[in-house]
Chain A
Amino acid sequence: MSTIENTVEGDDGVNRRDFLHVAAAGFGAVGAAVAVWPFIDQMNPAADTLALASIEVDLSKIAVGEGVVVKWRGKPVFIRHRTAAEIEEAKAVDVGALVDKQTDAERVLPGKEEWLVVLGVCTHLGCVPLGTKTGDDRGEFGGWFCPCHGSHYDTSGRIRKGPAPRNLEVPGYAFASDTVLKIG
């Protein structure tokens, strides 16, 4: 057809029209990809969800050997006031033999070893492990036990047995005073 006859071809058989086609299609594809992004990103946490304030917890009422569950960002956080024996147990573990190798010291604040603060979310598929309430099944390692698929955590919240791949996560926290803990 006439348009084709009128096109100048280079030595390699590629002409200006081919270039224009590729350039236009490429430009369109990039534009479409850019337009899609807002529709994906709208699913990510919104500004108000992200802004969920940090919380403060009064520790003075938690006796040694006891624990509490508080809600932070819609998730449970376990705070346990560990006994000397529990701390010893957590320190005595051979780290090399763990699934997720972490010493107890890496999971608590220095000088505050008696306070263990972890997210109450099983790293397997997200159930809330048992073991915070007195009388709960604490599993074979005295920490927490997840009934969903049988994960056992120790007194440092580390995974010791079962399908969970990682230790219970330690959220960012600090001591506002000796008895007030600030999470987030």
Chain B
Amino acid sequence: MAHGPAFETNSAVVKWIDDRLPIFSLIHGSLGAGYLAPRNLNYWWNFGSLAGLCLVIQIVTGIVLAMHYTPNTLMAFDSVERIMRDVNYGWLIRYMHANGASMFFIAVYIHILRGLYYGSYKAPREMLWMIGLVIFLLMMATAFMGYVLPWGQMSFWGATVITNLFSAIPVVGDHIVTLLWGGFSVDNPTLNRFFSLHFLLPFVICGVVILHIWALHLPGSNNPLGIDAKGKGDKIPFHPFYTVKDAFGVGVFLIFFSLFLFYAPNALGHPDNYIPADPMVTPDSIVPEWYFLPFYAILRSITFDIGIPFTDIVIIPAKLLGVLAMFGSILLLFALPWLDTSKVRSAKFRPTYRIFFWFLVVDMVILTIVGGKKPEGIWPVVGLIGTAYYFLHFLVVMPLLGKIEQTLPLPESIAKACVKKA
């Protein structure tokens, strides 16, 4: 198990507190020398702590923004411009928040891909994986509602298109949309509730992150070899080894973040969001933030109904099918621990899976590009193929590959594999 030496202290005060509220023991046992982690974690294991840092950055900057922001359709846009121009360092804090959201998604996407590559979603870490997906869904909801707050053209029309997705639900769809809006269109009641929820959800995410770490610390971290770390010399104390490694990652991350923050703060945003929202004019094209593009591409790729051939009877209209495909593409990941039938975790020992993994990455990049294009010319076809491949990967390739793939021999233990290399 993941337990190292128990917490010890020379300070009578610390001991007195710890006997009554074992908070120092808790920290020692989960982030200190008391927590043992595999000795061979590589830099892909840095992105969990980086995602945590992003959450902290979003909350701190968000609370400050909320001190100056006004959630009212008549004043929201101007209040954000005031933050940019008049509030001391307001520009910095808003750019940190807006770019911080992108950094958060970059960190989390790499974190998820790490899990896919090294098989971290497999037994005994299924709950850990699924809780991670819950965090991802909450993040998407939070970021979507945050983007509505500045009340620019993309805010308004993004909100209109996304809330209208729910109208695809049979029978109750239109009622749900009215309920979400609190009116007959995206308007002041919508902005108010989005602000309230945008404030709340990050704290819900904090709670779920604690569950995530709890579920992590039972089996302990997976590792690049994907084998269980239970042999002698397989593990090292989290502190100082991984606290230092994570801190180094934070330094590199802050440099990357600063490049956007200080040199290209609007590179990841859409210029139309600097035009105040106008319910009477739809922008030339509605593009979501970059981190939603693959899913937006999946949504738009479906333009055909499913019905009984040679009749007019439609079973699933195109609009509903698109919505189902989009939500399905994420919900599918909850089933991944069981869709993947391979006994071997790490792609290091799965030569064929390794190729398919990179195909999937390329597919996601293509879908991201398609999601940003107008649905004209070649793009709808590319989007449809990309969508089909995405589902094929998880529903066909993963189950079959585990059965037929010739995996490479696994090392006996982490310690053996590491020492041999040195």
Contact = CB atoms under 8 A, between A and B. Distances in A.
Q: Which 5 A-B pairs have the closest CB atoms?
A: A74-B185, A126-B164, A125-B164, A127-B282, A73-B184
Interface string A69-80: 101011110000
Interface string A132-166: 00000000000000111110000000000011110
A49 B160 contact: no
A43 B280 contact: no
B179 A44 contact: yes
Contact of A163 (B163, B178, B193, B319): B319
A128 to B, nearest CB: 4
Given A73-B185, A165-B317, A43 B285 contact: no
Q: How large is the interface on A (under 10, 10 to 19, 20 to 34, 35 or more residues)?
A: 20 to 34
A44 B182 contact: yes
Given A49-B183, A75-B184, A150-B375, A165 B319 contact: yes
B182 A43 contact: yes
Given A74-B187, A147-B284, A46 B375 contact: no
A34 interface: no
B39 to A, nearest CB: 51
A126 B163 CA distance: 9
A40 interface: yes
Contact of A44 (B178, B187, B322): B178
A27 to B, nearest CB: 28
B189 interface: yes
B180 interface: yes
B300 interface: yes
A167 to B, nearest CB: 14
A110 interface: no
B26 interface: no
A148 B161 contact: yes
A172 interface: no
13 contacts: A43-B180, A43-B193, A44-B179, A45-B181, A45-B184, A49-B182, A49-B183, A71-B279, A74-B183, A74-B184, A126-B161, A128-B279, A148-B161
Given A74-B187, A74-B279, A126-B164, 15 more contacts: A45-B183, A45-B189, A46-B189, A49-B183, A74-B183, A75-B279, A76-B279, A121-B185, A124-B164, A125-B319, A126-B163, A128-B281, A147-B285, A149-B303, A165-B317
A71 B280 contact: yes
- B interface, size bucket: 20 to 34
Nearest to A97: B312
A58 to B, nearest CB: 18
Contacts of A76: 279-280
B347 interface: no
B319 A127 contact: no
A71 to B, nearest CB: 6
B165 interface: yes
Contact of B182 (A45, A52, A121): A45
Given A75-B185, A126-B161, A147 B282 contact: yes
Contacts of A150: 375-376
Contacts of B300: 149
B375 A149 contact: yes
A172 B19 CA distance: 72
A164 B184 CA distance: 19
B280 A69 contact: yes
Contacts of A163: 303, 318-319, 322
B69 interface: no
Contacts of A121: 185
B285 A148 contact: yes
A173 to B, nearest CB: 16
B157 interface: yes
B155 to A, nearest CB: 14
A131 B164 CA distance: 22
B161 A125 contact: yes
Contacts of A125: 160-161, 164-165, 319
A180 to B, nearest CB: 22
Contacts of B375: 149-150
A97 B412 CA distance: 68
Interface in A39-84: 40, 43-46, 49, 52, 69, 71, 73-76
B286 interface: yes
A128 B282 contact: yes
Interface in B180-215: 180-185, 187, 189, 193
B160 A127 contact: yes
Contacts of A146: 282
Contacts of B182: 43-46, 49
A38 B285 CA distance: 38
Contacts of B187: 74
